[in-house]
Amino acid sequence: MSDGDAPVARWRKSSRSGDNGGQCVEVAGLVVAVGVRDSRDPDGPKLLFSPAEWALFLRRLKGGGCDLG
C-alpha cells in the first residue's frame, strides 16, 4: 500500500503503547481493509488485511492463540 492509496487514513496506536520510543505498530481502518504500519517508519511499507483477517487475528490474540514470547 502506498500513501497515495490511503490519503485520508487515520493511523492510531494502542493507548497501552505509551511513549516507549516508537516501538509499536499503528493501525488504520480503511474502507475495504485494515492497514498496519511501523510507527518508527510512517512513510515505509504498510500491510493490508481484509476485515475478516483482522478480526480473526484479534480473536486469536485476545484468546491467547498467538505466542508473543
1-58: pLDDT as tens digits: 455 554 578 999 877 776 666 678 899 988 889 999 998 898 999 999 999 999 998 8
Rounded Cα gap, residues 9 and 4, in angstroms: 10
Structural domain boundaries in the chain: 3-62
Number of C-beta neighbours around residue 8 at 10 A: 7
Give residue 24's region: left, alpha or beta (phi > 0; psi -120 to 50).
beta
Is the whole-model pTM more than 0.75? no
Interatomic CA distance for residues 60 and 10, integer angstroms: 25
Kindly report the number of other CB atoms within 10 A of residue 22's CB atom: 13
